[in-house]
Amino acid sequence: MKQIPNIFTLLNLFFGCIAIVFALQNSIEITADGQFVRLTEELYYASLFIGIAAVIDFLDGFVARALNASSEMGKQLDSLADVVSFGAAPSIILYQFLRMSFIRENEGVETSMLWLMPAFVFACAGAYRLARFNLDTEQSFGFKGVPIPAAGLVVASLPLIYWNMQTEMVYTILMNKWFLYGLIILLSFLMVSKLPLMALKFKDFSIKSNLPKFILVGIAVATALLLKWLAIPIVFIAYIILSLLYKRN
């Protein structure tokens, strides 16, 4: 019974590896005359598998608490899985988006890889955040810095938004290399920072104790219905704002 949570954690890692496989496929389609450039659906599937990994990542903690099977090994294994599923896999998605943004420019195909390497700063920041979390005993009902799964899901939402939001403005933003560099810097900073952020765990279900969490759930439902995949970054921003407004003592 004590190994059941670890099996869930390994499934998290398993689906994270599948996400990497899809993200590493030839994710950019270019016509022979170079006039039409777009992301292929492989990157879309990478996002979906990161999402599956996130669901399993939530369940392994839930199962561990339900079976009273938490262990130090499980904690370390969880971090190793998270750095792959929510660090390495999203970094490759960022790499592909940067590739796409440069390829769309004149002579962009010849862009040096040095311009694409900042994508992996995201994974490094996530690994640092996980290592610090494992050494910190004060993050049971609150976090210091953004958890790597939350940041990883924001990145994973980019291909989903790209494929489902039929808006030129959205395409323009997502294909802007400066926006992508800014996103990498922002998410990396938020992960390594010590901003006091709430953990989405309930000590009880009273409104007084959980008001910001209930507000966040309301925002998530409303934006999901109205904006679909664009809800993910919006909920992420709301999470940061609500955590700072109702920061723990």
Cβ atoms of residues 24 and 97 within 8 Å: no
Tell me the C-alpha distance between 197 and 132, whole Å. Answer: 15
Sign of CA dihedral 124, 127, 129, 135: negative
Cβ neighbourhood burial of 248 (10 Å; 0-12, 13-18, 19+): exposed
Residue type, 84: V
Q: Is 19 helix (H, G, I), strand (E, B) or coil?
A: helix
Domain 4-194 belongs to what architecture? Up-down Bundle (1.20)
Model confidence pLDDT, tens digit, residues 155-208:
999 999 998 887 888 888 999 999 999 999 999 999 999 898 887 766 656 666
Please count the other Cβ atoms lying within 10 Å of the Cβ belonging to residue 31. 9
Domain borders along the chain are 4-194, 201-249
Model confidence pLDDT, tens digit, residues 201-248:
666 566 666 788 889 999 999 999 998 999 999 999 999 999 888 775
Tell me the C-alpha distance between 174 and 100, whole Å. Answer: 10
pTM reported for the whole predicted model: 0.90
